Amino acid sequence: MCAYFAPAFVYGGPPRSILGLCAAQQHAGLDVRVVTTTANGDDELPEDTNATYGGVRVQYCARGWPRSAFRAPSLGAAVRAALASADIVHLHGLWNATIWAAAAEARRARRPYVLSPRGMLSPAALAHDAWRKRIAYLAFDRAVIRGAAMLHATSRPELDALASRFGASRTCYVPNGVTLSPPVITDPCETRRQFGLGTAPFVLFLGRIHPIKRLDLLATAFARVRQQHPEIRLVIAGPDEEGHRSRIGPLFAPLGDAVTWTAAVSEQDKGKLLDACSMLVLCSDSESFGMSAAEAMAAARPVVVTKGCPWPEVESRETGVWVEQSSEAIADGISAILSDPRRATEMGQRGRALIEERYTWPKAVAQLEEVYRRLAPGHSHA
């Protein structure tokens, strides 16, 4: 159960990672059914009671007023019908009426549910619309959390935070996976022509245009990088959320055509950009996982990631640089990689090896299936 699902990629990483998980579970032989809303940013997906996406059965329930709460009047009945044949319910996210309704139905039907907060209980996430979340917590989300049989973290820092607050016995760690395919070599010249990038190397940001992503730090950092590497360009690829681009855009204006905004990109174009870029930069206040960093490493690209993101392996495995969350540190990390192409290539190769070793969907599915089996009715805990 989730408030939005593929192809609603305007919401960034969660619908992609939830789709990846469900498709991999289906491929592994689990019977998966998604119940969600028609939410797609300012638009709506078609209402459909018997759809499929990526081989996964999906029921899209029409979103009603208020749309920002992701309330779907028909969702309760859809969840009740799905529960008749379900052993386990998996809820993704918090702070929305979809999860409130699904959790209530699961409790009423006495079905255990796993809750994946997906970073929505981090201090940075709680600070965004803080007063609304305080009200929602008291009215709804506290009961959702208390009723969960298991709280699922996708990173070690998120696991530690959840365990300290709700108890280690109620928490588990299973990271997201990345869909791995043989390294695809696209024509970087064609990618540059497609996005109007000329021949210069470029740094890639991939994600929502949202305050938590701290593009203000990236603007200052990139100006510093350009002092040492005047030819370098920056590509910012991702959907604009809540009109944040209009607020952050003026910080990039002095950089002129050195910055390219692509808006949301397709999976194919995302692959092209990852294949052609010199590195990926992620400087968020917090991330429950940081899918774009994993995708960049899977594409054998070095990464510059700030320490608000849960990727200490970037440092320990030397797949890039894991830096303090400051424009100076971000700039130094970018410049260091640009100044040593051979080391950058080696970082990318180590990143690919790390993803193959630890972060594939089959590994995630196997771990979550074990969690489901422990929680399923009738399982012996002896």
Predicted confidence band of residue 288 (pLDDT cuts 50, 70, 90):
confident
User: Average pLDDT, whole number, for the chain?
Assistant: 94
Report phi then psi at 370, rounded to 5.
-65, -40
Predicted confidence band of residue 308 (pLDDT cuts 50, 70, 90):
confident
* Contact present, 216 and 248 (Cβ < 8 Å): yes
CATH 3.40.50.720 fits 188-358, yes or no: no
Identify the pLDDT of residue 382.
34
**Sheet of strand 303-306: strand arrangement:** 259-263, 233-237, 202-206, 279-282, 303-306, 320-323
User: Do 9-177+361-375 and 188-358 come out as alike in CATH topology?
Assistant: yes
* Contact present, 239 and 263 (Cβ < 8 Å): yes
Give the angle subtended at the CA of 261 by the CAs of 340 and 119, to the nearest 5°: 80
Predicted TM-score (pTM) of the model is 0.88
Residues 19-77 have pLDDT tens digits of: 999 999 999 999 999 999 999 988 999 999 999 999 999 999 999 999 999 999 999 99
Q: Which residue has better confidence, 358 or 188?
A: 358
Identify the pLDDT of residue 185.
64
43-44 and 48-53 beta bridge pairing: unpaired
Q: Give the type of residue at 113.
A: Y
What percentage of the chain has pLDDT greater than the value 90? 85
Residues 337-351 have pLDDT tens digits of: 999 999 999 999 999
CA 160 to chain centre: 19
The domain locations on the chain are: 9-177+361-375, 188-358
* Contact present, 99 and 72 (Cβ < 8 Å): no
What number does CATH give the domain 9-177+361-375?
Answer: 3.40.50.2000
C-alpha neighbours within 13 Å on the C-beta side of residue 254: 8
* Size of the chain, expressed as the number of residues it contains: 382
**Range 252-275 average pLDDT:** 93
The Cα 107–Cα 333 span in angstroms is: 48
**Range 153-164 average pLDDT:** 94
Residues 81-140 have pLDDT tens digits of: 999 999 999 999 999 999 999 999 999 999 999 999 998 998 888 988 899 999 999 999
The Cα 103–Cα 52 span in angstroms is: 23
The Cα 338–Cα 13 span in angstroms is: 27
Predicted confidence band of residue 259 (pLDDT cuts 50, 70, 90):
very high
Predicted confidence band of residue 379 (pLDDT cuts 50, 70, 90):
low
Q: Which residue has better confidence, 20 or 12?
A: 20
Predicted confidence band of residue 183 (pLDDT cuts 50, 70, 90):
low
Asked if the model's pLDDT at residue 310 lies above 80, the reply is yes
